[in-house]
C-alpha cells in the first residue's frame, strides 16, 4: 500500500550499507565478548518505541569506557560504516533504527556517576546512567536532577534528543541543564565541550550543538549536568475542570503571572478514565490539571493559593492536595502511567505520539481544534500535556496490523503539526526528529536553515557514518 505524498515518513528510506567481513573481524578481535552479532541482541538494538519496522544493525558493541567508543568509531570510520549510539532504547521517533545498517554502540554499561560537586550543584556522569540513577546518587547530598521524560532514559540519550518532561516549566530542558560534554567525533577523536563554569562566552556553543543532534554529530561519552537543591517544601495538587479550555486558560494565567510553578500537567477526562482503570486510582473523571509547587514552606503556600484563586475563576473545582511523599507519588504515578494505561485499554495497539509545542497564548487554539479533529476521526487516543510549556502529546491508539488506522493517525498528526507551525510553534517539543519528523522539520525550519544543518553535518561527519538518515536527508 502506497502512502500519500504528505505521509512519506510512514515508510523510512532504508538503504543498509554492507558490513565488511574485515571490519567485523576487527571488532571481534578488539572487543571479543563485548561485541555481539546474535540476532536477538541485534534486534533488541534495532528498535525503539516508534512504529517503524527496519532490519537490525549488523553488530552491537557494548562500550565500557570512552576508549571503547573511540575505538569502535575509528574502526567503523575506516570502512565508512554507520555507528548508532544506544542508551536504554526509549526514544520515540526511530532514532535508533539502522536505516543505513552499521553498528549499534550500546553505552548502557557506561553507568558510572563520575563526580558529584555538591557545592557547585553539578554532577558528571557517563552516558549510560539513567535519570533515576542520577537522582539516587545525589539524593544524600540534598540535591536532585529535574529532567524527567516518561521513561527512565539514559542521560546520554536525553542529551542527544534534548529531552525535557514535567519539570521543564520551572527548571528548563536538557538544553539549559547540560553544562559540558565529552564527545567522540566522527574520526574517533575525543573532545570536550564546555567547562563546569555556570556561564561562558568562549567560542561556539558546541555543547548546545551536540545537545539535540540525535547522535548525528558525535557520540556522547560524558555529561556534566546542573543539579538543584531539593526543595524545602513540595506540594502537589489536582484540580478538575468542566472543559479543557477552562484548564488551559488557568494555566495560561498562572504562567503569565510569573508563578514559579514546578510542574503543570494536563490529563484529559478520557485519559483519567484509562488511568483509573489501569492503576485503580479513583480519580475524579474530569479534565484535570496536576501541579506541583517547590520552595520554602511560605512560598509554596503562596504559590498554591494564587493558583487556586485563578483556577476557581475558571470553574476549577475539587482541589486535592498531596503534601506527603506517598500521596504525591500516587498522583504522579497516574501521570507517568498514562501511556501504559492507554496502551492497555486497546489490547495489541501501539501509540503514535504527537509532540507539538506552541507559545502559551496559542495553546487553547491549538489544543481545542486538535481535540475536535481527533474526536471526529473516531481513533481512540490519550491526551497529556506539559501545558505550562505549551507542549502536549496525543497518543493515537492504532492497530499496527491495520495500515489504514496508522494512516488516519498520521493524517491527524500532520494536521496538528501544520496548526502548531501556523501558531508559531514547533513540531517537536521534546521527542526529537528522528525518522518521523524529517518532513515536518523542513516545513518548520525552512530549506535555508536545514541546509545550514546539512552543511554542519557534512563538515563534522564527511562520510556520514554518525547515525545517518536521521533529522534530514543528506
- If one asks whether residue 200 binds its own copies (CB under 8 A), the answer comes out as yes
Q: Residues 351, 369: contact at Cβ < 8 Å? A: no
Applying CB under 8 A, which of residues 325, 446, 473, 474 lies at the interface with its own copies? 446
161 binding its own copies? (CB under 8 A): yes
Name the segment binding its own copies (CB under 8 A); options: 239-247, 270-278, 368-376, 438-446. Answer: 438-446
The Cβ of residue 103 has, within 10 Å, a number of other Cβ atoms equal to 29
Query: Nearer to its own copies by C-beta: 302 or 373?
Result: 302
Which of 425, 439, 465, 467 contacts its own copies by CB under 8 A?
A: 425
The stretch near its own copies (CB under 8 A) out of 273-281, 344-352, 394-402, 432-440 is 432-440
Q: How far is the CB of 380 from its own copies (least distance, A)?
A: 26
Contact between 243 and its own copies per CB under 8 A: no
- Whole-angstrom distance, CA of residue 194 vs CA of residue 192: 7
Using the rule CB under 8 A, is 456 a contact of its own copies? yes
Q: How far is the CB of 212 from its own copies (least distance, A)?
A: 5
Residue 76 interacts with its own copies (CB under 8 A): yes or no: no
Q: Please, what is the minimum distance in Å from the beta carbon of residue 237 to its own copies?
A: 18
Closer to its own copies by Cβ: residue 122 or 130: 122
Choosing from 66, 90, 166, 173, the residue that interacts with its own copies (CB under 8 A) is 173
Q: According to the binding rule CB under 8 A, does residue 209 interact with its own copies? A: yes
Out of 120, 245, 399, 407, the only residue in the binding site for its own copies (CB under 8 A) is 120
Please tell me whether residue 163 binds its own copies under the rule CB under 8 A: yes
Return the residues of window 376-395 that contact its own copies according to CB under 8 A.
389-391
- Taking CB under 8 A as the criterion, which residues in 13-72 touch its own copies? none
For residue 29, the tally of other CB atoms under 10 A from its CB is: 10
Of 42-50, 327-335, 343-351, 445-453, the window that binds its own copies (rule: CB under 8 A) is 445-453
- Least distance (Å) between residue 200 CB and its own copies: 4
Q: 232 and 293 in contact (C-beta within 8 Å)?
A: no
Among 433, 435, 465, 466, binds its own copies (CB under 8 A): 433
Whether 373 contacts 310, CB under 8 Å: no
Residues 280-319 that bind its own copies (CB under 8 A): 295-296, 298-299, 302
Whichever of 121 and 269 has its CB closer to its own copies, that residue is 121
Residue 117 is a binding residue for its own copies (CB under 8 A): yes
Strand partners, 290: 238, 265
Q: How far is the CB of 139 from its own copies (least distance, A)?
A: 15
458 lies in the site for its own copies, by CB under 8 A: yes
CA distances (Å), 391 to each of 90, 367, 452, 457, in order?
A: 19, 10, 26, 28
Is 257 near its own copies (CB under 8 A)? yes
**Does residue number 73 form part of the binding site for its own copies (CB under 8 A)?**
no
Rg (CA), the chain: 22
* Contacts of range 294-300, beta carbons closer than 8 Å, 24 or more positions apart: 294/170, 294/231, 294/233, 294/234, 294/260, 294/262, 295/231, 295/232, 295/233, 295/260, 296/232, 296/233, 297/232, 297/233, 299/233, 300/231, 300/233, 300/234, 300/235
Of 48-56, 167-175, 377-385, 393-401, which segment contacts its own copies by CB under 8 A? Answer: 167-175
Q: Work out the number of other CB atoms within 10 angstroms of the CB of residue 409.
A: 25
According to DSSP, the β-strands at 103-106 and 83-86 are parallel
Least gap, CB of 92 to its own copies (angstroms): 10
Binding residue for its own copies, selected from 38, 452, 473, 474, defined by CB under 8 A = 452
Of residues 258-277, those binding its own copies (CB under 8 A): 258, 260
| Minimal distance, residue 262 CB to its own copies, in Å | 13
How many chain residues touch its own copies (CB under 8 A)? 93
**What is the grid cell recorded at 290?**
496536576
Give the rounded distance of the alpha carbon of 457 from its chain centre: 22
332: its cell numbers: 504522579
Which parts of 319-378 interact with its own copies (CB under 8 A)? Answer: 355, 357-362
Site for its own copies (CB under 8 A): which residue of 66, 154, 167, 193?
193
Amino acid at each position: 500500500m502506497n502512502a500519500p505524498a504528505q505521509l512519506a515518513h510512514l515508510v523510512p528510506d532504508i538503504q543498509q550499507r554492507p558490513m565488511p567481513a574485515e571490519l567485523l573481524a576487527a571488532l571481534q578481535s578488539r572487543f571479543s565478548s563485548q561485541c555481539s552479532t546474535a540476532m536477538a541482541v541485534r534486534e533488541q538494538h534495532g528498535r525503539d518505541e516508534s512504529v517503524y519496522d527496519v532490519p537490525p544493525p549488523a553488530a552491537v558493541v557494548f562500550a565500557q569506557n570512552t576508549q571503547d567508543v573511540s575505538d569502535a568509531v575509528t574502526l567503523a570510520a575506516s570502512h565508512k560504516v554507520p555507528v548508532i549510539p544506544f542508551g536504554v532504547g526509549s526514544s520515540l521517533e526511530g532514532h535508533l533504527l539502522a536505516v543505513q545498517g552499521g553498528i549499534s554502540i550500546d553505552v548502557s554499561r557506561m553507568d558510572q556517576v563520575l563526580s558529584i560537586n555538591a557545592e557547585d550543584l553539578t554532577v558528571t556522569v557517563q552516558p549510560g546512567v539513567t535519570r533515576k540513577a542520577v537522582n539516587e546518587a545525589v539524593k544524600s547530598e540534598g540535591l536532585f536532577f529535574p529532567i524527567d521524560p516518561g521513561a527512565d532514559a539514559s542521560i546520554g540519550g536525553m542529551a542527544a534528543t534534548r529531552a525535557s518532561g514535567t519539570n521543564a516549566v520551572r527548571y528548563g530542558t536538557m538544553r539549559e541543564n547540560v553544562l559540558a560534554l565529552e564527545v567522540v567525533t566522527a574520526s574517533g577523536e575525543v573532545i570536550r565541550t564546555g567547562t563546569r563554569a555556570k556561564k561562558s562566552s568562549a567560542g561556539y556553543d558546541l555543547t548546545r550543538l551536540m545537545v539535540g543532534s540525535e547522535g548525528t554529530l558525535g557520540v556522547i561519552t560524558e555529561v556534566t549536568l546542573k543539579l538543584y537543591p531539593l526543595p524545602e517544601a513540595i506540594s502537589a495538587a489536582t484540580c478538575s475542570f468542566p472543559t479543557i479550555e477552562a484548564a488551559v486558560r488557568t494555566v495560561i494565567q498562572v504562567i503569565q503571572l510569573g508563578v514559579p510553578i514546578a510542574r503543570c500537567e494536563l490529563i484529559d477526562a478520557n485519559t483519567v478514565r484509562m488511568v483509573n482503570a489501569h492503576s485503580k486510582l479513583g480519580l475524579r473523571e474530569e479534565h484535570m490539571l496536576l501541579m506541583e509547587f517547590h520552595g520554602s514552606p511560605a512560598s509554596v503556600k503562596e504559590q498554591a493559593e494564587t493558583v487556586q484563586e485563578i483556577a476557581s475563576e475558571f470553574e476549577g473545582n475539587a482541589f486535592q492536595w498531596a503534601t506527603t511523599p506517598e500521596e504525591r507519588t500516587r498522583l504522579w504515578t497516574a501521570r507517568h502511567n498514562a501511556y501504559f494505561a492507554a496502551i492497555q485499554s486497546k489490547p495489541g495497539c501501539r501509540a503514535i505520539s504527537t509532540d507539538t509545542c506552541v507559545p502559551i497564548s496559542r495553546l487553547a487554539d491549538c489544543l481545542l481544534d486538535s481535540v475536535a479533529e481527533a474526536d471526529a476521526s473516531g481513533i481512540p487516543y490519550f491526551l497529556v500535556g506539559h501545558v505550562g510549556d505549551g507542549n502536549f502529546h496525543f497518543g493515537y491508539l492504532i492497530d499496527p496490523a491495520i495500515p489504514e488506522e496508522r494512516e488516519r493517525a498520521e493524517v491527524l498528526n500532520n494536521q496538528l503539526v501544520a496548526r502548531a507551525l501556523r501558531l508559531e510553534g514547533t513540531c517537536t517539543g521534546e521527542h526529537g526528529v528522528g525518522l518521523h519528523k524529517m518532513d515536518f522539520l523542513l516545513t518548520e525550519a525552512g530549506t535555508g536553515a536545514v541546509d545550514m544543518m546539512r552543511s554542519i553535518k557534512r563538515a563534522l561527519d564527511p562520510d556520514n557514518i554518525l547515525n545517518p538518515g536521521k533529522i534530514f536527508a543528506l
